[in-house]
Structure 1
Amino acid sequence: MSPTTRRVLQAVLYEAIAIAVVGPGLSLAFDEPPTSTFGLAVVLSTIALTWNYVFNWLFEKWEARQAVRGRSFARRLAHGAGFEGGLAVILVPVMSLWLGITPAAAFAANLVLLAFFFVYAIVFTWAFDRVFGLPASAAVREPTR
């Protein structure tokens, strides 16, 4: 499988499963109709995918101007915090308006989603790699003689 095909397949499966889990979860948590929370899950997923693209583009533009190259732990931590913080700034008002809840309740729900996605991303990536194999960048190479 080509790297591009693999990335697209991984993103589509990741988001489809996330929507299938988050939609009903929000329905139960906020006593909202599943059709409404499924729609919200699709909107949240679309926002997250778009923000991922925009944030990484901006981060890489910033990163290219830095004197120190590479991705240290501090830089990775800044990347993760920037991505998740920016996403929360976008998602909290959307969730608050859609669900008719306070921004504080939407922020709390966003924290729960953050914890869920932390675990889900690890489990999903492991399962995806088990089913489809490792990408070329991570495959074990045979020693050369």
Structure 2
Amino acid sequence: MRTTRDRIRHALSFEIIGLALVTPLGAWAFGMPLHDIGIVGFGSATLATIWNYIYNLGFDRAMQRLRGTTAKTTPIRVLHAILFETGLLIVLMPLIAVYLGISLWQAFLLDISFAVFYLVYAFVFNWAYDRIFPLPEWQKLETA
């Protein structure tokens, strides 16, 4: 399993890169001020960073218990990303509505758009991260 230091590097790099991509794209796509999307993005990224750490630790522990390894197949990666984004969507939607002064429906549409972006981004980022920082146990599986 990953160390605490590695999990912190993972969570922070995921959020920093994601925020750098989603803020200008979100402002452009929704015709909102960059500042407002930046605040929503930063607040969301802060909550998502905390959620990322907790979620990935729990997911890895469940995988270790159920499968005996933290190595993820493509279907498991898809499930991993969907569950992560669903939990985050539930928490963020009301906060976005209040901050931007929009309806829950509008906040849902904004949040779901961000979730779709992050769903794809999470899959790609985690795949790349696992390739750049593989665990020794995975290398043993590849040679077996």
Q: State the TM-score, normalized to the length of structure 1.
A: 0.68
The amino acid that maps onto 1:20 is A
Find out whether 1:125 has 2:126 as its counterpart: yes
Residue-pair matches, total = 133
Q: State the TM-score, normalized to the length of structure 2.
A: 0.68
Matched with 1:89 is 90
User: Going by fraction, where is helix more abundant, 1 or 2?
Assistant: 2
Query: Residues 4-15 of structure 1: matches in 2 within 5 Å?
Result: 4-15=4-15
Matched with 1:18 is 18
Find out whether 1:104 has 2:105 as its counterpart: yes
Percentage of matched positions with identical amino acids: 34
How many angstroms does 1:57 deviate by? Answer: 7.8
Which structure's relative contact order is higher, taking Cα pairs within 8 Å and 6+ residues apart? 2
Structure 1 unaligned spans of 5+: 64-68
Rate the CA distance shift 1:81–1:118 in 2: closer, same or farther, 3 A.
closer
Q: Deviations over 1:4-43 (max 9, x none)?
A: 3322222111110111112112211332221221121110
Structure 2 unaligned spans of 5+: 68-74
User: 3-state SS of the aligned residue for 2:134?
Assistant: coil
The amino acid that maps onto 1:14 is F
* Greater C-alpha Rg: 1
User: 3-state SS of the aligned residue for 2:136?
Assistant: coil
Rate the CA distance shift 1:29–1:101 in 2: closer, same or farther, 3 A.
farther
Query: Residues 53-64 of structure 1: matches in 2 within 5 Å?
Result: 53=53
